[in-house]
Amino acid sequence: MRDIFTIFVEGIADEVFFRQYLHHLYGIIVPTNRIQRLDGWTNLKGSTWQQRMRTNTANGGTNIVIIDADDDIDARRSDILAWKTENDLDFELFLLPNNQDAGALEDLLENIINPNNRPILDCWENYEKELIKLDIPGRTPPPLTTPAKKTKIYGYLEALLFKSQKEQIKEKKRDYENAQHWNLNTKYLEPLKEFLQFNMEKGECKKCQRQRNIQP
């Protein structure tokens, strides 16, 4: 019986981050089929992903679901775990950003920037504070709309990168192992690190520590 893992994430930004974070932790290149992109957490409940989970479980593998907590972490956890029980599925759940607070991947990213770059986000936060004070004629009702968290991360990278590097701002092109931009060793990532180590080392990732690549 093969020990395998499958990680289910919401979108391309999550997929890219977790591929690189696992490389950082284990020195491995994760095969494409080991991280499945749901294109929205609600799609997890579709029959395709249920069957993928059942097959992985039957083969002795570990299913890992990592999705955003969004505005209410308790409600999201209750919803997912109730669905898990109703459908007799076997998976481990982690809610971003840290399995404790409401939020999303972008909140995690904001907390793992290189500390030397913190003034960039301080400027952004001052911009947001000033924005909500503005009263623009013809704009009813105030205040103005605060840019999305994704925009903050784009702005952070755009400030750091040269014009020739602008492609790296895009979610699918980001380099989270670039220590000038990100700190993958920060204590903020400890809950995620411990969750991944506990659940992945049940199976094939024990081998990952002894070899550079996982075979599909």
Please tell me whether residues 41 and 129 are part of one structural domain. no
Minimum mean pLDDT range among 59-63, 66-70, 203-207: 203-207
Structural domain that includes position 118: 113-173
Q: Specify which residues 2 forms β-bridges with.
A: none
Please tell me whether residues 67 and 38 are part of one structural domain. yes
CA-CA-CA-CA dihedral for 25, 26, 27, 28, to nearest 10: -120
Q: What is the Cα–Cα distance from 70 to 174, expressed in whole angstroms?
A: 23
pLDDT in tens, 152-201: 999 999 999 988 898 999 999 999 999 999 999 999 999 999 999 999 87
Please tell me whether residues 81 and 11 are part of one structural domain. yes
Please tell me whether residues 94 and 43 are part of one structural domain. yes
Q: Which helix (DSSP H) or strand (DSSP E) does residue 125 occupy? A: helix 118-131
Please tell me whether residues 11 and 73 are part of one structural domain. yes
CA-nearest of 109, 29, 121 to 68 is: 109
Residue 215 lies in a domain: no
